[in-house]
Structure 1
Amino acid sequence: MSYGVEYHVEAEEIRRTLPAAARRAWSELERRLRVEPWEAGARMSGGLKDTLEAAFAAHGFATYIVQDQRVMVSVINLVWIG
């Protein structure tokens, strides 16, 4: 099964501004989110069961929600460490 990936408005704005190395790392994480979203990240400490965080190399991290019913991953926050 392949999940779709959608972006919250602010996360999309950050994604568009990533420099080349961070964009490549993000692309690899996005590929993993499409295939194995539950294994790509870890549940946030004290967070909801379906809300996870994952690093994209040393460039930053993403917070996302896995929606199995919709077969969709919603990226709600991107942080670029850059």
Structure 2
Amino acid sequence: MGNQPLKLKAVVYALSPFQQKVMTGLWKDLPEKIHHNTRYLRIGSALFSSPLPSSKNSHGQRETNKSKLGYKHSKGHHYSNLSSILLKR
């Protein structure tokens, strides 16, 4: 099969003078807009990407305390009901 040449047309798009007046509002204060948006992105990413060490530590402490309490209760150092606690005082 042979190659056949294709006829291509070039299309150029341009804005009319009325549309160009509207476009100037987009470029107005561009550095300030960029700074404003990057500042909020930086704050948001810092808040959501930072770890929460307190929740991790409290979970570890909770597990340690559970194991200690389980050891205490397995030795028979606990009271079976509230009345026995009150009578011993």
Q: TM-score range by the shorter chain?
A: under 0.3
More strand by share: 1
TM-score under structure 1 length normalisation: 0.25
